[in-house]
Amino acid sequence: MNFPVPVAVISSILGEYGPLPKVEAHWPLVEAALDAAGTYSPLCAVAAIATISVETGRFSPIKERGGPSYLTNLYENRTDLGNLNPGDGARFQGRGFVPIFGRRNYEHFGMEIGQDLAGNPDLALDPPIAAAILAVYFRDRDVRSVADQQNWEMARRRVNPGLTEWSRFVDVITKLVSALKNPPPPVVTSQHAVQELDQ
């Protein structure tokens, strides 16, 4: 892939918020989705990694916490989200690497990625689909342009206007940018070791 920082280094930077098996499984999907959406750049990748780590807390697609009454109170009859039908509030709760909310968003992202998200909202928890949603989300909000300018506050605001988890986000950004500027050298094995492996 394109991003020169190995997944083990990404995981070590994220610490408890990026377990190595999750980063190994999910980062290539996200990177490929950013490529497919035409929004990949190394600094946009940095923004994506940092965003996923603070939005999910474990580098895996998540479903918003809260019981039906909580979700109903939060989202039911929210015309700004397209929640017009009874039960839409709980049905279209937040899901994904970047949680999407509301019938309108599920319909929009479903159309963009060719999936019936409105008919089956839990598809947004499937990692390849969640990755495709994130890539479209970044494209729609032009996160790449502000990431390429290293305007990290705006990159965060375009996903989370309230700058939730800002200190952790910017800490991850700083470490990833440093790793991007100084990627670890490739692992070189001796010819002897290679020969032993071949036997």
What tens digit of pLDDT does each residue of 139-190 get? 999 999 999 999 999 999 999 999 999 999 999 999 999 999 886 666 554 4
Which tens digit of pLDDT belongs to each residue from 149-159? 999 999 999 99
pTM across the whole model: 0.89
Mapping DSSP to helix (H, G, I), strand (E, B) and coil, where does residue 63 land?
Answer: strand
Residue 66 binned pLDDT confidence (cut-offs 50, 70, 90): confident
Question: Looking at residue 195, what is its pLDDT?
Answer: 45
- Give CA torsion, residues 60, 65, 71, 75, to 10 deg: -40
Lowest mean pLDDT: which of 26-30, 109-113, 129-133, 194-198?
A: 194-198
Counting Cβ atoms within 10 Å, is residue 30 exposed (0-12), middle (13-18) or buried (19+)?
Answer: buried
CA-CA distance, 38 to 33, in Å (whole number)? 9
Question: Looking at residue 194, what is its pLDDT?
Answer: 44
Taking only Cα atoms into account, the Rg of the chain, rounded to an integer number of angstroms, comes to 19
Q: What is the mean pLDDT of residues 9-21?
A: 96
Mapping DSSP to helix (H, G, I), strand (E, B) and coil, where does residue 73 land?
Answer: helix
CA-CA distance, 30 to 43, in Å (whole number)? 14
Residue 193 binned pLDDT confidence (cut-offs 50, 70, 90): very low
For the chain, give every residue range classified as CATH 3.30.20. 63-124
| CATH code reported for the domain at 63-124 | 3.30.20
The rounded mean pLDDT for the chain is 92
Above 70 in pLDDT, residue 199?
A: no
Above 70 in pLDDT, residue 196?
A: no
Instruction: Please report, rounded to a whole number, the percentage of residues in the chain having pLDDT higher than 90.
Output: 86
